[in-house]
Amino acid sequence: MSPIGILGGTFDPIHFGHLRLAQEVADQLRLAEVRFIPSGTPPHRAAPGTLAADRLAMVRLAVAGNALFTVDPRESSSTAPGYTVDTLTALRSEVGAAQSLVMILGADAFLDLATWSRWHQLFELAHVAVAYRPGFPVDTWQSRMPQPLAAEYNARLLHQPFSVHVAPAGGIVVVPIAELNISATMIRDSLRQGKNPRYLLPDSIYQYIQEHMLYSEN
């Protein structure tokens, strides 16, 4: 029973930063699978301008052909704010108490974790894998973490990444990945300025964006 990775996000749109994140964490931690969970109505940020159905469709297209990657549409179909702790609680009851779960976060998302609803409970439900992201160098994390998050980080940090195979939840592991300076914001801005975002995201996603005329308004 290798661990299952969980990658939540707005994916507005999904890009190569997300896909490399998932692939490298899966490889380094030897995950059985990475489940992409596109948000419906994200509680922590402004509502995305793109319909949940379009963001879900793009995630499905982007992961097609990778046997490690799956898509979980549960948050996309809900109009209520989707809290990660509720999604993980539901997943935990589906997979059972013994199955290891690993919530994958880029460093920016991890540094924000203490603002999430019932965030301490997340560690009872899953491990947390924190991956490098440009703009958030690892040697600045400690100084950028609020004290309650720093306390969890210091108490839970696993120095042996494969410890996520031993316990079902509760650890934090840092995963050094190739830093790709790509964000969905950058892609949306490029498209609105009429620039070509090729090679920042899969061609199939760029094609979907063009066919559905996404991100074209000012």
Residues at the contact surface with ligand ATP, assessed by CB under 6 A = 9-12, 17-18, 21, 105-106, 108-109, 131, 133, 180, 182-185
SS3 label, residue 201: strand
> In terms of CB distance, is 99 or 190 closer to ligand ATP?
190
For the CB of residue 85, give the shortest distance to ligand ATP in the complex, in Å. 15
For the CB of residue 4, give the shortest distance to ligand ATP in the complex, in Å. 16
The amino acid sitting at 160 is Q
For the CB of residue 111, give the shortest distance to ligand ATP in the complex, in Å. 9
> In terms of CB distance, is 158 or 184 closer to ligand ATP?
184
Six token digits for residue 87: 């999604």
65-98 burial, b for 16+ CB within 10 Å, e for fewer?
Answer: eeeebebbbebbeeeeebbbbbbbbebbeeeeee
> In terms of CB distance, is 3 or 36 closer to ligand ATP?
36
> In terms of CB distance, is 166 or 178 closer to ligand ATP?
178
Taking the C-alpha atoms of residue 139 and residue 50, their distance in angstroms, rounded to an integer, is 35
The neighbour count for residue 19, using CB atoms within 10 Å, is 22
For the CB of residue 98, give the shortest distance to ligand ATP in the complex, in Å. 26
Six token digits for residue 194: 């009429």
For the CB of residue 5, give the shortest distance to ligand ATP in the complex, in Å. 12
The neighbour count for residue 175, using CB atoms within 10 Å, is 20
Which residues have a Cβ under 8 Å from the Cβ of 11 and sit 6 or more positions away?
A: 18, 36, 38, 39, 55, 58, 59, 184
> In terms of CB distance, is 185 or 196 closer to ligand ATP?
185
For the CB of residue 120, give the shortest distance to ligand ATP in the complex, in Å. 19
Six token digits for residue 90: 């539901």
> In terms of CB distance, is 1 or 27 closer to ligand ATP?
27
